[in-house]
Amino acid sequence: MSISKVYEKDELSGIRTKIAQLVDEYATLKYEPKEFVPEETFIPASGKFIDGAELGYMVEASLDGWLTSGRFNDQFEKKLAEFIGVKYAITVNSGSSANLIAFSTLTSSKLGDRSIRKGDEVIGVAAGFPTTVNPIIQFGAIPVFVDVDRHTHNIDPNKIEGAISPKTKAIMLAHSLGNPFNLDIVTKICKKYNLWLIEDCCDALGSKYKGKMCATFGDISTLSFYPAHHITMGEGGAVLTNSLELKEIAESFRDWGRDCYCPPGKENSCGRRFCQKMGGLPYGYDHKYMYSHLGYNLKITDMQAACGLAQLGKISSFIEKRKKNFNYLSQHLSSFEDILSLPKATHESDPSWFGFPITVNEESPVTRNDLTSYLEQNKIGTRLLFAGNLIHQPYMSGQNYRVSGELSNSDYVMNNTFWIGIHPALNEKMLSYVVEKFDLFLRANF
Ligand SMILES: Cc1ncc(COP(=O)(O)O)c(C=O)c1O
């Protein structure tokens, strides 16, 4: 390397150091903790927690000028897989994309008889987020809805076997608001009937069942990194698996459907770039342009990965804070349990809660909407349990799905349940204000 090149490199790194110092200074001022002002400060149901670490990494990634998935993404995928305890994590641009890729992976003809085909059935619930179910319909398979349990908002495990038909190929479920579904029963059923398990962990990063991390039970699992979630990169998600075969298929679906698995900027990783024959293509056609799946392009940029990497460094403290906030609300709202049903962790689970779900008992003289309107008027953000009962959503009219038994608990959740925030940006002063408002409202109405 010439002396002038070395000089240029040093100069560039000197400028980088100055920029990093300025970003740090900026972040200190921008993210200085603000005093909570009761009745004035809004308490959102979900929110991100970022500081100089995220800004610093994102600026570094942009100064690299690499733009597409690169060194930050490599580190993020490795560290995420280590944290969860799976062999492979691949990033995608949202939790919905993660579900799309996870499901599509199981439709690959490379899986032979086990691949999910059009018209096959996939068991799930209707009380949840639409994009846990949509990939099934988009592909032409049939979601089969089983009712949920009123207390955990998860699939009623005793109703699953009744929903199985000769066409059933998979179970695809989310851990509702971070509360694990009964993985003992679900994994036993999957084994007994040779079904795939897709674990949607978008709301459950860090949740454990019998001491084992969620996302390690399914054949393939998903995460979301939208700002509302446990960690964020703006928009983003990940697909997780222990199977090399599924990981390679998932990457193919994510990366245009290509057969080639070279990382961005690399060529001829397989060493057989110009000596293969596939489909009707001529022998030696460039492997880089051979497509084995009906794919997408759902990759992330390295700036997103940089943000995610900084967030991963904080994940344990985030999970602890969520649990602490959850326990605070559980303890302080317990005196209203004759009016409100409070969340219960699934037996033998340790949830990393996404939110604090509350159900206004049906016999109560006030409705869920009375309470949520009051809370919102008092600057306390509320959310419903996503789509409620999906089959009542406008877009589901005319779609091909099957209901197994009744969905009366899903309707109950749709009518009576909502959730409030416990995310790491909330502190005890805010939660104490939340409890005070519940107290005022419920005392005034009973
Ligand atoms: C259970 C569940 N699955 C999937 C998603 C979709 O994630 P994203 O918003 O990143 O597409 C969400 C979103 O909140 C979710 O709650």
pLDDT in tens, the chain (446 residues): 444 455 567 899 999 999 999 999 999 999 998 899 999 999 999 999 999 999 999 999 999 999 999 999 999 999 999 999 999 999 999 999 999 999 999 999 999 999 999 999 999 999 999 999 999 999 999 999 999 999 999 999 999 999 999 999 999 999 999 999 999 999 999 999 999 999 999 999 999 999 999 999 999 999 999 999 999 999 999 999 999 999 999 999 999 999 999 887 889 998 999 999 999 999 999 999 999 999 999 999 999 999 999 999 999 999 999 999 999 999 999 999 989 999 999 999 999 999 999 999 998 989 999 999 999 999 999 999 999 999 999 999 999 999 999 999 999 999 999 999 999 999 999 999 999 999 999 988 87
Helix runs in 260-366, H state only: 302-312, 315-333
CA distances from 38 to 33, 75, 328, 373, 378 (A): 15, 41, 18, 18, 9
Q: Which of 229, 287, 293, 423 is catalytic?
A: 229
Tell me, in angstroms, the distance from the centre of ligand 1 to residue 224's CA. 6
Q: Where are the alpha helices (DSSP H) in 299-419?
A: 302-312, 315-333, 368-377, 408-416
Neighbours of 243 (CB within 10 A): 15
At 6 the pLDDT is 56
Q: Residues, the chain, total?
A: 446
Is the CB of 419 within 6 Å of ligand 1? no
How far are the Cα atoms of 107, 122, 199, 228 from residue 117, in angstroms, in the given order? 6, 11, 19, 34
- Between CA 259 and CA 268 the distance in angstroms is 12
Atom of ligand 1 nearest to the CA of 97: 11
**Sheet-wide strand order for 417-420:** 340-341, 356-360, 417-420, 383-384
Pocket of ligand 1 contains residue 202 by CB under 6 Å: yes
Say whether 229 is catalytic: yes
**Radius of gyration of the CA atoms of the chain, in A:** 24
Does residue 199's CB lie within 6 angstroms of at least one atom of ligand 1? no
Q: What torsion do the CA atoms of 31, 32, 38, 41 make, to the nearest 10 degrees? A: -30
Any ligand 1 atom below 6 A from CB of 387: no
Cα of 129 vs centre of ligand 1, distance in Å, is 7
Are 176 and 201 contacting, i.e. CB atoms less than 8 angstroms apart?
Answer: no
Indicate the top mutation candidate among 48, 92, 96 to test ligand 1's pocket, ranked by most ligand atoms within 8 A of CB.
96
Residue pair 103/139 in contact by the 8 Å Cβ criterion: yes
Q: What ranges make up the beta strands (E) of 242-398?
A: 340-341, 349-350, 356-360, 383-384
Q: Indicate the helix (H) or strand (E) that contains 16.
A: helix 3-30
**Nearest Cα to 250, choosing from 196, 213, 209?**
196
Give the residue ranges of DSSP H helices in 31-91: 52-64, 71-84
Residue reference for tokens 């699992």: 221
Give Cα 120 to chain centroid, integer Å: 25
Ligand 1, atom nearest to 386 Cα? 16
Residue 224 beta carbon below 6 angstroms from any ligand 1 atom:
yes
For ligand 1, atom 7, the nearest C-alpha belongs to: 95
Tell me the C-alpha distance between 395 and 377, whole Å. 30
Phi and psi angles of residue 143, each rounded to the nearest 5 degrees, phi first? -70, 140
Distance 299 CA to ligand 1 centre (A): 17
**What is the CA angle 215-260-221, rounded to 5?**
10
Rounded to 5 degrees, φ, ψ at 138 are -60, -35
Residue 21 burial by Cβ neighbours in a 10 Å radius (0-12, 13-18, 19+): exposed
Note whether 308 and 48 are within 8 A (CB).
Answer: no
Q: HSE of 26 in the Cβ direction (CA atoms, 13 Å)? A: 12
- Alpha-carbon dihedral angle through residues 23, 24, 27, 33, given to the nearest 10 degrees: 180
- Contacts for 178 with CB less than 8 Å, ≥ 6 apart: 203, 204, 207, 322, 351, 352, 353, 354, 355
CB 420 within 8 Å of CB 438: no
